[in-house]
Amino acid sequence: MPKDKGSFERRVPVSLIEEKLSLLRKRTPKNVLVLGAPKTGKTFLINSVLKEQKDITYVYIDLSKIGMSPESFSIEFMGNICFSVLGGQKQEYSKFLGINFLLSLESKIPKASFDVIKGIHNELLKIKPDQRFLVENALKFSESFSGKRFAVILDNFEFILDINNFNQIKDVSSLDWSCSNASYVCLSSASSQLKKYFKKFDVIDVNNLSLDETEQFVKEISPADSKNSEKIHRLSNGNPYVIISLLKVNKEIKNIEKAFAIELLSKDSILYKHCSSVLEEFLSRTSGKTLSRILLRVISLNDGLRLSEIASKMYRSAPVTKALLERLMISDIIYKKDGRYYFHDSVLKLWIRLSAQNNAPDEEIGEEEMTEVLKLI
């Protein structure tokens, strides 16, 4: 990705992020959902803004990589803040994820901060700790560092919903997320789910690049391909990650459509792995994965089908099919328009379609197969 955050004019989300952080300086912070499809550049945009905010402590937590029980979350959340405040070395990070190590920091952190750690530790010693107490006190931990301002980046924020599975909490969005010296900047591709729960959070949508943005983006990272910007935009749907993978392959192929086809068909390619990962991410948000895969394949092969047509092709009843469709819509993989169903992501749709038609993807693609694929592009 380009180093200059404004170099290809994604200024709208950048200015919105900067606006929210300015409120943090005024002690009226806002919590924010930064939402967009996978690989649209959400983390890159946040990083590019925060690198210039010298007066704000930047705490990054990937919720897919920490324990999401109330007990584990409370410890690891505080550990990440301590790690950032104390400037811990990368090789020391894992130490900060244990309660005993946090208790050893008494002389290095404010007394108020240590008291929060001690309070959570005491609660954990109980036979049945108050799980709501644990999470809410962890969320308030930054308050104990007077004089500091925190931007707490919670990546893969959809994992926070796992805490809903604990009876003492049930709805993590009902907890007190307000904090006078911290803004929670929550990144996720699970737009529908998070908007449903976190209605008090402000929303910043990070969309795929427009045609103008794609032209500027391509010009910056691969000037030789500028003449193909419109074609690249159509094939990639404006997704920056797809554009980059496409341009890498095209350096050797010198044919955008063929480069795109090779990326979609070759199981070791960047784009093939990306599509596979995106599909698994979407399906992880819904139940009935086997039937969901079949349903998605049906829609990829027959764009714009009605409920009755999909049910017929799946050999399932309309109510069963409707329930599957509703789950997939909540997961943001498909949408409904005028009674018909479509993919949000045209690249993923084509990949699923090609995967259904090519049972053994391989790096070596025959001319006949390439001809058939190019007809679909």
Is a pLDDT exceeding 70 seen at residue 11? no
> Residue range 310-314: average pLDDT?
92
Say if residue 268 is exposed, middle or buried (CB neighbours under 10 Å; 0-12, 13-18, 19+).
exposed
Task: Check: CB of residue 97 under 8 Å from CB of residue 90.
Answer: no
CA nearest to 198, candidates 188, 208, 207: 188
Confidence of residue 172 (pLDDT cuts 50, 70, 90): very high
Locus of tokens 């209605």:
199
CA distance 25 to 30: 11
Which pLDDT does position 369 carry in this prediction?
66
List Cβ neighbours of 300 (8 Å cut-off, separation of 6 or more): 343, 349, 350, 352, 353, 356
Asked: is 11-205 a CATH 1.10.3470 domain? The reply is: no
> Residue range 187-193: average pLDDT?
91
Q: What is the pLDDT of residues 314-358, one digit of tens each?
A: 889 999 999 999 989 988 899 999 999 999 999 999 999 888 766
In order, the DSSP letters of 67-104 are: --SHHHHHHHHHHHHHHHHHT--GGGGGGGGSHHHHHT
CA end-to-end distance (rounded Å), the chain: 26
Which pLDDT does position 199 carry in this prediction?
92
H or E stretch covering 375 = helix 367-376
Domain boundaries, the chain: 11-205, 211-266+362-376, 276-352
The residues that bridge with 58 in the sheet, in sequence order, are 151
Confidence of residue 5 (pLDDT cuts 50, 70, 90): very low
The region of weakest confidence among 194-208, 227-241, 316-330, 344-358 is 344-358
Say if residue 265 is exposed, middle or buried (CB neighbours under 10 Å; 0-12, 13-18, 19+).
buried
Confidence of residue 222 (pLDDT cuts 50, 70, 90): confident
Q: Sign (positive/negative) of CA torsion 127, 131, 137, 141?
A: positive
Which pLDDT does position 61 carry in this prediction?
93
Which pLDDT does position 30 carry in this prediction?
87
Q: What is the pLDDT of residues 78-92, one digit of tens each?
A: 999 999 999 888 888
Mean pLDDT of the chain: 87
CA nearest to 124, candidates 67, 197, 187, 51: 67
Q: What is the pLDDT of residues 248-307, one digit of tens each?
A: 988 888 888 888 988 888 888 889 999 999 898 888 877 778 889 899 999 998 889 999
In order, the DSSP letters of 221-246 are: H-GGGGGGHHHHHHHHTT-HHHHHHH
The region of weakest confidence among 10-24, 39-53, 99-113, 184-198 is 10-24
Is a pLDDT exceeding 60 seen at residue 362? no
The region of weakest confidence among 38-47, 123-132, 198-207 is 38-47
Out of 1.10.10.10, 3.30.470.20, 3.40.30.10, 3.10.20.740, select the CATH number for domain 276-352: 1.10.10.10
Distances 82 to 21, 85, 105, 234, 333 between C-alpha atoms, Å: 21, 5, 9, 45, 37
